[in-house]
């Protein structure tokens, strides 16, 4: 490359006869000197931006755009260095802005997701307000409900006061079995993640938790009440585990006077898992190792009783999987050794394999939209997906202390693009199979036959049952929002308990200062072990 007009050397501004133009740039392709208002140092810069053109200055112009080689002559190094420094600085600023823009959306998305989880959790808890029986509080946010069942138990012989409690689902029926499961599961979430409850609609959460009055660990500060709960639980456990000729082990639904019509809805398939479940929780509540001995000693028997269709499933009829998670935590953080290690080892092995199986598409089928199908032939897939999500997240937190989800599907990330929690998101079920939600709130009393006209109506429910998780889609992700099809649209307290558990586990923990020694998972590592004074077994 040469300077224009055949000049073999750098063109310099020192030629006085070229005034008033003091500086020039040479463009080898242009074939002429161009005046410049810039002051450059006498350093030649050759910008090879493209292959050099063979076209000379007297050639015909091409119809296509050309690339040029630039040869710049500059006269002042000081100004040039300043220019280089400023350019580098500007490039760094631009790079920083690009990186900031790149990562800010992720952070925003994270907080948005956390905000959605908080809203979903508040609404899921609100559903339990809609299920209350007995004297209904006027302060409740669910305004289409009122007092009900005030004579419950009066007609029994002898009469009993059975007011209160929770209706199971859309029907005005109370079942002891799922209520006990619901109370235990929700209480477990308070024990493990009580810090997270601090950041939820505190009065509502407090009212709901106060109503779930079976977990003495939750109410440990109310010593008198906690003791009464433990004493009642111990007496009941003693009767349930008694082994003599006058006592028969079995399920409550085997006995007509006990199970009655409940077996049509909640038929128990076995009792061993409930007994070790009760023994495990009594151990955590009292520290009495005889209860732990019962739980670990009978764990294998409970496994043998577990039906093939329920393996790996945690719900009102099968507590074995959740029990294994509890015993695994004990083994990880408070291993007691002999004589419990066999049962504890079986539990942790079961959970290790189970969590891996949840992730495998070969073991459990999924809908095309990604919803895990733990019991594909039994309907209500969402309640099983919710408890699976809870156990998976809880176990993950355990492992993180040592060293995503079905919930997203439930909240709208599914092929139907519908939130299966009523009131959450822009699209959700409006024909929920629920008596109170489907009958207008007009201060009129309607008998059951009179209520059928709303059951079969095609109009949306007049009352929004906020927070209710419906039964869910079929195994092909199809969902019919039909009040007359409860296998799609009916919510239950047991299902919602699993949803609350999963939402609490996934909820962001409260803010902790950087110098805090607490973990940042929101899980209480030691709370469940507070009562473990290792009381020796009674002799």
Per-residue pLDDT of the chain in tens (539 residues, 90 and over written 9): 444 334 344 444 444 444 444 444 443 333 333 333 433 333 333 333 334 444 443 433 444 344 444 455 556 666 666 666 666 766 666 666 655 555 544 443 444 455 588 889 889 989 999 999 999 988 888 999 999 999 998 988 888 888 888 999 998 898 888 888 888 888 888 888 888 876 657 444 444 443 344 455 566 777 887 888 788 778 778 878 877 656 667 776 676 766 677 778 887 778 888 888 888 988 988 899 999 999 999 998 889 888 888 889 999 889 899 999 999 999 988 888 888 888 898 898 899 889 888 888 888 889 999 999 999 888 899 999 999 999 999 998 988 888 645 788 899 988 899 999 999 999 999 999 999 999 998 888 888 888 888 999 999 999 999 999 999 999 889 999 999 999 999 999 999 999 999 999 888 887 665 544 556 678 888 888 888 877 666 65
Q: Is 522 left (phi over 0), alpha (psi -120 to 50) or beta?
A: left
Given this model, what pLDDT does residue 186 score?
86
Give the end of a domain, one of 24, 52, 75. 75
Give the end of a domain, one of 58, 75, 92. 75
Q: Which domain holds residue 288?
A: 219-359+516-539
3-state secondary structure of 467: coil
Provide the Cα torsion 370, 373, 379, 383; round to 10°. -80
In a domain, 99, yes or no: no
Question: What's the rounded Cα separation, in Å, for the pair 320 and 307?
Answer: 11
Count the domains in the chain: 2
Q: Hey, which residues are catalytic here?
A: 433
Question: What's the rounded Cα separation, in Å, for the pair 282 and 216?
Answer: 9
Radius of gyration of the chain (CA): 36
Given this model, what pLDDT does residue 530 score?
84
In a domain, 493, yes or no: no
In a domain, 346, yes or no: yes
Q: What b/e readout covers 414-424, taking b as 16+ CB neighbours within 10 angstroms? A: bbeebbbbbbb
CB 280 within 8 A of CB 528: no
Given this model, what pLDDT does residue 214 score?
46
Q: Is 72 left (phi over 0), alpha (psi -120 to 50) or beta?
A: beta
Question: What's the rounded Cα separation, in Å, for the pair 314 and 323?
Answer: 9
In a domain, 291, yes or no: yes
In a domain, 500, yes or no: no
Given this model, what pLDDT does residue 471 score?
96
Question: What's the rounded Cα separation, in Å, for the pair 465 and 142?
Answer: 8
3-state secondary structure 325-370: HHHHHHHHHHCCCCCCHHHHHHHHHHHHHHHHHHHCCCCCEECCCC
3-state secondary structure of 498: helix
Q: Which residues, 6 or more positions from 406, have their beta carbon under 8 angstroms from its beta carbon?
A: 371, 372, 382, 385, 386, 388, 389, 502
Angle ∠(283,276,504) on CA atoms, nearest 5: 75
CB 279 within 8 A of CB 290: no
Within 10 A of 76 (CB to CB), how many other CB atoms are there? 17
In a domain, 315, yes or no: yes
- For the question of whether the overall pTM of this predicted structure is more than 0.75, the answer is no
Given this model, what pLDDT does residue 410 score?
93
In a domain, 326, yes or no: yes
In a domain, 282, yes or no: yes
Give the end of a domain, one of 43, 75, 107. 75
């Amino acid at each position: 490359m040469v300077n224009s007009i055949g000049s073999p050397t750098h063109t310099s501004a020192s030629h006085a006869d070229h005034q008033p133009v003091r500086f020039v740039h040479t463009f080898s392709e242009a074939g002429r000197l161009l005046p410049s208002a810039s002051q450059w140092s006498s350093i030649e810069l050759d910008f090879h931006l493209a292959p050099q053109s063979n076209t000379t200055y007297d050639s015909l112009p091409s119809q296509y755009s050309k690339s040029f080689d630039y040869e710049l002559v500059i006269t002042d190094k000081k100004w040039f260095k300043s220019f280089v420094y400023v350019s580098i600085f500007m490039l760094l600023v631009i790079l920083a802005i690009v990186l900031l823009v790149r990562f800010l959306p992720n952070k925003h998305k994270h907080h948005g997701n956390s905000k959605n989880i908080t809203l979903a959790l508040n609404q899921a808890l609100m559903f339990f307000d809609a299920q209350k029986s007995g004297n209904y509080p006027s302060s409740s946010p669910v305004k289409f409900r009122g007092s009900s069942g005030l004579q419950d138990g009066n007609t029994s012989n002898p009469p009993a006061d059975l007011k209160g409690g929770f209706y199971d689902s859309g029907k005005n029926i109370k079942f002891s079995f799922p209520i006990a499961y619901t109370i235990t599961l929700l209480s477990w979430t308070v024990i493990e993640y009580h810090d997270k409850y601090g950041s939820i609609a505190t009065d509502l959460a407090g009212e709901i938790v106060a109503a779930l009055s079976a977990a003495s660990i939750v109410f440990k500060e109310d010593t008198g009440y906690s003791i009464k709960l433990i004493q009642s639980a111990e007496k009941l456990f003693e009767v349930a585990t008694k082994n003599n000729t006058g006592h028969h082990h079995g399920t409550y639904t085997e006995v007509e006077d006990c199970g009655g019509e409940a077996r049509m809805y909640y038929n128990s398939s076995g009792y061993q898992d409930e007994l070790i479940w009760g023994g495990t929780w009594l151990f955590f509540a009292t520290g009495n190792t005889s209860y732990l001995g019962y739980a670990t000693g009978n764990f294998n028997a409970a496994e043998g009783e577990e039906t093939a269709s329920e393996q790996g499933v945690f719900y009102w009829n099968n507590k074995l999987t959740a029990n294994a998670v509890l015993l695994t935590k004990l083994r990880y953080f408070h291993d007691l050794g002999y004589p419990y290690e066999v049962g504890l080892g079986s539990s942790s092995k079961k959970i290790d394999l189970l969590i891996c199986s949840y992730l495998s598409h070969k073991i459990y089928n999924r809908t095309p939209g990604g919803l895990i199908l733990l019991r594909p032939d039994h309907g209500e897939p969402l309640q099983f997906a919710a408890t699976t999500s809870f156990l998976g997240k809880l176990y993950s937190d355990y492992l993180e202390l040592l060293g995503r989800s079905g919930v997203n599907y439930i909240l709208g990330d599914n092929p139907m693009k519908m939130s299966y929690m009523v009131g959450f998101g822009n699209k959700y079920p409006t024909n929920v199979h629920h008596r109170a939600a489907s009958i207008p709130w007009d201060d009129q009393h309607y008998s059951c036959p009179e209520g059928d006209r709303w059951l079969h109506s095609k109009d949306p429910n007049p009352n929004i049952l906020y927070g209710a998780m419906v039964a869910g889609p079929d195994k092909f992700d199809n969902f019919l929002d039909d009040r007359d099809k409860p296998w799609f649209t009916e919510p239950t307290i047991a299902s919602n308990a699993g949803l609350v558990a999963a939402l609490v586990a996934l909820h962001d923990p409260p803010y902790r200062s950087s110098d805090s020694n607490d973990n940042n998972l929101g899980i209480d590592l030691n709370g469940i072990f507070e009562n473990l004074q290792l009381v020796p077994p009674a002799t």
